[in-house]
Amino acid sequence: MQKTLLICIDDTDNLESIGTGQLLENMCREMHVLGLGEAGFVSRHQLLIHEKIEYTSHNSSMCCEFRTENPSAVRSFATSYLEEHAAEGSDPGLCILPVDPEQNYSALTAFGLRAQSEVLQKTDAYGLARQFPEMSLSEHGGTGDGVIGALAGVGLRMSGSDGRIKGKILPEGGCERLTVSQFCSRHGIDQVLTADHHLLSDDTELIFDLPTKAVLLDNRKTVLAEQIDGAWHPVPHRGRKK
């Protein structure tokens, strides 16, 4: 029977290595090649920036869904992969949650929200994890403080309305004029909303001329749009400030 897992990793990189999101994508790709299952999109969840928190550049954790019939094999592979491929000097944490539609995960989401505004400790993460015995939370080098962000990332992903989806969305040919329905179909998006989260109708015309990024809202891959000189444009991706 196929199960859906949430896999989240944090603090796996250094300034010279590939990012945590790329590491997660690579890991899931290898598991797919081995026949262990299929991954969905990777989401980036921003956590608190604070002088008491060690991080490489932006303190964000990376999470994805992984559908599998063999959760134990996925856990074993992910553990080994992280220990082999996490960057020197990092403090990797791994969280794997088998999602139960009947389970209440509000405590996990609350922890994720706290991690965006409070300095938390490993003891906080492990104390909460004990309430979910089916979940795996583990550290794989260094201080292991990445377990805090890994658990927080799972909680924020469970909220359904946090995080940017990894990967830029690029206009074909430099500029596209198309309806919202055409844009969603072409670029794998579920909905286009205004900045104040009003849904744009399927026949609204978009001018798509700059790269954008999708976000997760209401468990849907969402692009935000803004009106410029009377025309709707997907909000361009401007990168993150260092």
CATH fit for domain 3-164, picks 3.90.950.10, 3.20.20.70, 3.30.70.2200, 3.40.30.10: 3.30.70.2200
pTM of the complete model beyond 0.85: yes
pLDDT tens profile 202-231: 999 999 999 999 999 999 999 999 999 999
| CB-count burial class (<10 Å; 0-12, 13-18, 19+) for 223 | buried
pLDDT band at 241 (very low <50, low <70, confident <90, very high): very low
Where do the structural domains in the chain lie, given as residue ranges?
Answer: 3-164, 167-234
Distance CA 233, CA 236 (A): 8
Question: Is the pLDDT confidence value at 163 over 90?
Answer: yes
pLDDT of residue 229: 93
